[in-house]
């Protein structure tokens, strides 16, 4: 994932000590260097000590931000003292930036409440937030009302905010590829393309027949096919897969890769049954797994809002996501369940990954037509789940997010599978069912629900349920 660039505004108010602005600048730049964050910040000589207080300061700072707008992912407002709330709000307004905003205020020391050291950032932050609200800007807050930038608490705040910036920027510019039509009876995969577009997400469609037709024309000895075949064989154990099935997988993968490059596709949702098995005689799962592993998520059954959920989780965590079925109970434990797909999960989830045929689809479509599924078990570790859904009746986008843990509880079956524990699972299932969410959700091996909840609710104004919060 690329480095994040934050625009920094250091507030000031003339009857508070100016030296606090200089100290804040030093603190922030030190922290950014440690966290590999790039800064767009006023030079110390551009305004009084590089702070923002007056209308002229606001114009100067806004001009700097405009010149760097293409690379700015978010804004950090720093209050080493009370600050001038109007100057700060004017800066953001004049810059024209539409990015997340984090407001930080320094704490005072009880033994330094002198004229020379008094900050009053505690009070100033309230005024700044009031003005931002008046101007119509959404903004994020630190966990503690006042916090020193070099503290562990603020470091966690900033890491979360960087994730929020990634999700907001990535989702507002995302291009999702829909390859084929959804399976005929899966009404649950219906979605509103128009609602996604309202928030900057584009859907690019292509007929599956076009993809298969091009794959059929690729020569067996094409150098690109040889390279793709080598990549597939190197990706996972494939001892039981017929050579012709591997070759067809390589041809299909090559054509999809080229189509994605042509249309700048970030993620795909594929009609993975039954046309593919009937007309090209493989499963696409291995190819989808490989794309997800390369941070180009791919979802089953043309689930566009499912792959949007995968992409959001990937942006939040910086690691691959997978699309899963909320599949089954785990015995009598009310807070555990089974996640499953037949399967296409990224290699990162499956240390024992193996390319096989699809046991489920093979029963009706023929085993020989379903090679390409991947199988394996997710080991114990952290887990976040998320689902984005378009509500056409209300004209809104809704989502839920939550966290749990992958477990090593005994479980024997085929396909890609996991056992998870999340407190209050039964309440979560009631929420999913009562609100008409899909049976798919996205999962990620991280704890990043708070990043998604903040981005979805605060910056997109979606209706969000955060489980156990």
Structure tokens at 193: 């393309």
Q: How far apart are CA 425 and CA 76, in angstroms?
A: 37
pLDDT at 149 over 90: yes
Contact predicate 82/119, CB 8 Å: yes
Span 313-334, average pLDDT: 98
Hunting for tokens 């296409």 — which residue is that?
344
> How many CA atoms, within 13 angstroms, populate the side-chain half-sphere of residue 289?
31
Q: How far apart are CA 372 and CA 285, in angstroms?
A: 6
Average predicted confidence (pLDDT) for the chain: 96
Q: How far apart are CA 55 and CA 7, in angstroms?
A: 18
Q: How far apart are CA 233 and CA 6, in angstroms?
A: 42
- Name, in order, each residue with C-beta under 8 angstroms of 87's C-beta and a sequence gap of 6 or more: 11, 52, 53, 54, 55, 57, 58
Q: How far apart are CA 195 and CA 218, in angstroms?
A: 37
Span 385-392, average pLDDT: 97
Q: What is the DSSP secondary structure assignment for residue 300, as one 8-state letter?
A: S
Span 236-257, average pLDDT: 98
Contact predicate 12/4, CB 8 Å: no
Nearest by Cα to 264 from 165, 166, 177, 169: 177
- Name, in order, each residue with C-beta under 8 angstroms of 91's C-beta and a sequence gap of 6 or more: 9, 52, 57, 58, 61, 62, 65
Name the band, by pLDDT with cuts 50, 70 and 90, for residue 2. Answer: low
- Name the residue ranges covered by the structural domains of the chain: 4-172, 175-466
pLDDT at 116 over 60: yes
Contact predicate 380/411, CB 8 Å: no
Q: What is the pLDDT of residue 32?
A: 97
Q: What is the pLDDT of residue 342?
A: 87
Q: What is the DSSP secondary structure assignment for residue 371, as one 8-state letter?
A: E
Neighbours of 160 (CB within 10 A): 19
Q: What is the pLDDT of residue 123?
A: 93
Q: What is the pLDDT of residue 113?
A: 65
Q: How far apart are CA 469 and CA 450, in angstroms?
A: 9
CATH 1.10.940.10, domain 175-466, yes or no? no
Q: What is the pLDDT of residues 442-460, one digit of tens each?
A: 999 999 999 999 999 999 9
Contact predicate 399/327, CB 8 Å: no
The pTM of the whole model exceeds 0.85: yes
Length of the chain: 469
* C-alpha distances in Å from residue 67, one per residue of 92, 189, 419: 14, 42, 50
pLDDT at 248 over 90: yes
Q: How far apart are CA 99 and CA 142, in angstroms?
A: 17
At the topology level, CATH places domain 4-172 in Rossmann fold (3.40.50)
pLDDT at 119 over 80: no
Q: What is the pLDDT of residues 296-318, one digit of tens each?
A: 999 999 999 999 999 999 999 99
Q: How far apart are CA 342 and CA 358, in angstroms?
A: 6
pLDDT at 465 over 70: yes
* C-alpha distances in Å from residue 198, one per residue of 280, 316, 404: 36, 21, 31
Between 42 and 14, whose confidence is greater? 42
Q: What is the DSSP secondary structure assignment for residue 132, as one 8-state letter?
A: H
Q: What is the pLDDT of residues 47-100, one digit of tens each?
A: 999 999 999 999 999 999 999 999 999 999 999 998 999 999 999 999 999 999
Torsion-angle region of 148 (φ positive above 0: left; ψ -120 to 50: alpha; else: beta)? beta
Q: How far apart are CA 163 and CA 404, in angstroms?
A: 19
Name the band, by pLDDT with cuts 50, 70 and 90, for residue 1. Answer: very low
- Name, in order, each residue with C-beta under 8 angstroms of 178's C-beta and a sequence gap of 6 or more: 203, 204, 205, 206, 268, 269, 302, 304
Name the band, by pLDDT with cuts 50, 70 and 90, for residue 434. Answer: very high
- Name, in order, each residue with C-beta under 8 angstroms of 406's C-beta and a sequence gap of 6 or more: 378, 379, 380, 381, 382, 383, 418, 419, 420, 445
For the chain, the 3-state helix, strand and coil shares in percent, each to the nearest 5, are: 45, 25, 35
């Amino acid at each position: 994932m690329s480095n994040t660039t934050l625009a920094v505004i250091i507030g000031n108010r003339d009857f508070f000590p100016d030296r606090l602005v200089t100290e804040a600048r030093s603190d922030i730049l030190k922290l950014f260097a440690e966290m590999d964050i790039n800064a767009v910040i006023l030079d110390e000589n551009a305004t009084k000590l590089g702070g923002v207080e007056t209308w002229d300061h606001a114009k100067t700072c806004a001009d700097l931000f405009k010149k760097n707008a293409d690379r700015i992912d978010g804004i950090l407002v720093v209050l080493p003292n009370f600050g001038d709330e109007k100057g700060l709000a004017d800066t953001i307004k004049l810059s024209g930036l539409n990015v997340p905003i984090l407001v930080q205020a320094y704490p005072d020391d009880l033994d330094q409440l002198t004229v020379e050291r008094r900050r009053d950032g505690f009070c100033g932050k309230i005024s700044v937030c009031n003005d931002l609200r008046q101007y119509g800007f959404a903004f994020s807050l630190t966990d503690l009302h006042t916090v020193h930038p070099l503290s562990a608490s603020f470091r966690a705040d900033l890491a979360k905010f960087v994730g929020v910036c990634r999700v907001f920027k990535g989702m507002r510019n995302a291009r999702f590829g829909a390859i084929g039509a959804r399976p005929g009876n899966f009404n649950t995969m219906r979605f509103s393309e128009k609602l996604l577009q309202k928030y900057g997400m584009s859907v690019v469609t292509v007929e599956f027949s076009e993809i298969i037709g091009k794959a059929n024309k690729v020569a067996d000895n094409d150098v690109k096919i040889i390279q793709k075949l080598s990549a597939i064989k190197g990706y996972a154990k494939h001892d039981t897969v017929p050579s012709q099935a591997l070759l067809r997988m390589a041809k299909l993968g090559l054509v999809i890769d080229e189509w994605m490059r042509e249309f700048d596709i970030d993620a795909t949702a594929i009609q993975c049954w039954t046309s593919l098995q009937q007309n090209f005689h493989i499963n696409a799962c291995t190819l989808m797994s490989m794309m997800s592993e390369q941070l180009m998520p791919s979802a089953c059954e043309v689930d566009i809002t499912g792959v949007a959920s995968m992409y959001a989780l990937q942006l939040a965590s910086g690691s691959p996501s997978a699309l899963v079925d909320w599949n089954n109970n785990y015995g009598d434990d009310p807070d555990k369940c089974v996640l499953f797909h037949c399967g296409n999960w990224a290699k990162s989830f499956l240390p024992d990954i193996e390319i096989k045929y699809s046991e489920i689809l093979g029963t009706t479509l023929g085993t020989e037509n379903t090679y390409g599924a991947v199988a394996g078990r997710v080991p114990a570790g952290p887990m976040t789940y998320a689902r984005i859904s378009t509500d056409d009746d209300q004209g809104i986008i809704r989502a839920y997010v939550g966290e749990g843990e992958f477990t090593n509880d005994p479980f024997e079956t085929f396909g890609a599978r996991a056992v998870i524990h999340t407190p209050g699972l039964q309440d979560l299932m009631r929420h999913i069912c009562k609100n008409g969410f899909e049976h798919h959700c996205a999962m990620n091996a991280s704890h990043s629900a708070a990043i998604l909840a903040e981005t979805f609710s605060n910056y997109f104004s979606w209706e969000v349920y955060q489980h156990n919060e």
